[in-house]
Amino acid sequence: MDIAYLGPVASFTHSAAQYAFPDENLVPLGAIPDAIMAIQKGEVDAAVVPIENTIEGGVNITLDYLFHFADVPIQAEIVLPIAQHVMVHPKNEAVWKSAQKVLSHPQGLAQCAKFLQDHLYGVEQIATPSTAYAAKWIKEHPDELAAAISPEMAATEYGLHVVQNNAQDIELNQTRFAVLSRKELKLSLPADEEKTSISVILPNNLPGALHKVLSAFAWRDIDLSKIESRPLKTSLGEYFFLIDLYSSKKTELVQNALSEIALLGGETKVLGTYHVFRILTSNGEE
Binders in 141-200 for a copy of itself, by CB under 8 A: 169-170, 172, 174, 176
Positive or negative CA dihedral for 271, 17, 46, 29? positive
Cα(47)–Cα(39) distance, integer angstroms: 6
Mark the segment that binds a copy of itself (CB under 8 A) among 36-44, 105-113, 250-258, 265-273: 105-113
Distances in whole angstroms, Cα of residue 49 to Cα of each of 33, 55, 161, 263:
9, 17, 27, 33
Instruction: Give the Cβ contact number of residue 127 at 10 Å.
Output: 12
Q: What's the half-sphere exposure (Cβ side, CA atoms, 13 Å) at 254?
A: 22
* Beta pairing partners, 226: 244
Q: Which is nearer to a copy of itself, 90 or 142 (CB)?
A: 142
Residues binding a copy of itself: what is the number (CB under 8 A)?
47
234 binds a copy of itself (CB under 8 A): yes
67 binds a copy of itself (CB under 8 A): no
256 binds a copy of itself (CB under 8 A): no
Pick one of 211, 248, 251, 267: the residue that binds a copy of itself (CB under 8 A). 211
60 binds a copy of itself (CB under 8 A): yes
Cα(113)–Cα(176) distance, integer angstroms: 20
230 binds a copy of itself (CB under 8 A): yes
The contacts of residue 212 (CB under 8 Å, 6+ apart) are 206, 264
260 binds a copy of itself (CB under 8 A): no
Binding site for a copy of itself (CB under 8 A): 52-57, 60-61, 79, 106, 109-110, 113, 124-127, 169-170, 172, 174, 176, 207-208, 210-212, 214-215, 217-218, 221, 223-231, 233-237, 239
